[in-house]
Chains A and B, each alone.
Chain A
Amino acid sequence: MASNEQSTSNAPVEIKPIRVLIAKPGLDGHDRGAKVVARALRDSGMEVVYTGIRQTPQMIAEAALQEDVQVIGISILSGAHLGLFPRIVDELNSRGIDDVLLFAGGIIPDEDIPTVEDIGFLGVFGPGTDTRDIIEFVRKNAPSRD
């Protein structure tokens, strides 16, 4: 809470929850995992923009731009991560978005994790991850917006 003096004057009391975009690219329609993560982040006080399934890299980047999110979480089950992730990063870069935290969830083989991290996805969370770990990761690494 702000000090008494501040809160009773007209000084702004800034409200800044972390804003996260959760997207599900690819053609499979399973978004249960994505929804579980979205709800967990919501329950930890974050504002989660949920875009739904079948998102193209271009749609994800455009939504991230319009929503001005600090964090993007991609849920992927199709095995297309090595093809999709670089395209998502390209679409973000072409819009000048270079200050978002990227993480991925879903099925990503261990041997691909270094590559995925190189592409720019700082966090990779496999099936069965405790959502508390994701919350902590986001809290710790989300860039601030001011």
Chain B
Amino acid sequence: MLQAEINILELEAIINGLRNGDRRSLARAITKVESDSADGREILRQIYPHTGRAHTIGITGSAGAGKSTLVGALARVQRKRGKTVGIVAVDPSSPFSHGAILGDRIRMQDLTSDDGVFLRSMASRGNLGGLSEMATGAADLMDAAGLDVVLIETVGAGQDEVEVATAAQTTVLVANPGAGDEVQSMKAGLMEIAQIMVVNKADLVGADTAVAQLKTLLAIADHGSWIPPILKTIAKTDEGIDMLADEIQKHFDHMRSEEHFDVERRNHVRGQIIDLTRAILQRRLIATTANDSTLETLINQVAERQRDPRSAALELADVISQKWSEY
């Protein structure tokens, strides 16, 4: 048999396995999607028509805010409500070695022995992969595999926060009390990506102040028909998690209601396409500049103050689009 034929059979087996709930096939499919291989793209293309059942929920917030603990607690509540749960936990890659330590499982140990839960850790892999590309892909695979709820944990850092918002249907922003400056520096724009705000570690002093600050910010944020609720949780002891699950469900129902469904779905898909395109362009930019002397020349000129960085960037953009149009 030709290698290509073997490959097609292997992909078919993975896709069929995944759709029949075979966990190993799901795991292997995520690996292929994560490495952005040709196989991965083919798998995503084929399974997409079978997605759309699951509710994808993004959990984002600064490092150490208690996201993993919260995700674990939410997963347990969802299991009690009879739902199966997929989890994608993203940790940053080292900018130096490109390696990563993926430690989110530590806080979700009890879920490992539950076969109604599938937890996958992922490294952000810098700019090359594009967070939304990988997280959206993995979430789609879990959806097609029949998992009812997919939780996506990401460390919020600027662009990533926006990206998780488009990977998920409902985004939960996790803040902590005492992080007054942090809350205040959350621009109104950041509020607009979240449908639910959580002040976790509400057992610590300052929780009510944090809630009040969030409320003030929310008042000037531009949200649509859904007004984001602000909740207090103590993820460590499961406090407030039932209520959080209720609000998440309310947002889902709101999204799925006849009145909002079309607009919400189109907005979500628009965000996804734009984010994925941005990731693809970013990757191309990196690849092109690595193989072209234009950037080096421009760097020299700007460093010598012979020209300004903005005009250099415009010239680089022109050169790149010229090159791209040749293919």
Contacts from A to B (Cβ < 8 Å): 1-2, 4-5, 7-17, 19, 38-39, 41-52, 54-56, 58-59, 62-63, 65-68, 95-97, 145-146
The smallest C-beta distance from B145 to any residue of chain A, in angstroms, reads: 12
Contact B101 A50 (CB under 8 A): yes
- By a CB distance below 8 angstroms, the chain A residues around B125 are 15, 17
Interface of B is mostly: helix
Encode contact with A along B296-327: 1 for CB under 8 Å, 0 otherwise: 00000000000000000000000000011001
Assembled-state Cα–Cα distance A56/B113 (Å): 10
Binding site for A on B (CB under 8 A): 23-24, 27-28, 30-31, 34-41, 93-94, 96-103, 105-106, 109, 112-113, 118-121, 123, 125, 128-129, 280, 283-284, 287-288, 290-292, 323-324, 327
Residue pair A68, B30 in contact (C-beta under 8 Å): yes
Taking A4-B291, A19-B31, A67-B120 as known contacts, 10 extra A-B pairs with beta carbons closer than 8 A to each other, sorted by chain A number, are A13-B128, A15-B36, A15-B125, A17-B123, A17-B125, A38-B101, A43-B97, A51-B112, A52-B106, A67-B27
Q: Which residues of B contact A96 (CB under 8 A)?
A: 24
Measured between alpha carbons, how far is A16 from B173 in the docked complex, in Å? 31
A79 to chain B minimum Cβ distance, whole angstroms, is 23
| Contact in complex: A12, B99 (CB < 8 Å) | no
Closest to A46 in B: B99
A-B pairs with the 9 shortest C-beta distances? Answer: A7-B287, A52-B106, A42-B99, A68-B27, A4-B291, A45-B99, A68-B31, A59-B112, A49-B102
Assess whether B102 is in contact with A63, with CB atoms less than 8 Å apart: no
Cβ contacts A to B, 9 pairs, < 8 Å: A7-B290, A15-B36, A50-B106, A51-B109, A56-B113, A63-B112, A67-B27, A145-B35, A146-B39
Chain A positions within 8 Å of B284 at CB level: 7-8
Kindly report which residue of chain B lies nearest to residue A23, judged by CB atoms. B105
Judging by beta carbons under 8 Å apart, are A7 and B24 in contact?
Answer: no
> In the bound complex, how far is the Cα of B290 from the Cα of A9, in angstroms?
14
Q: How far is the CA of A17 from the CA of B323 in the complex (A)?
A: 30
Q: Chain B residues with Cβ under 8 A from A13's Cβ? A: 36, 128, 283, 287
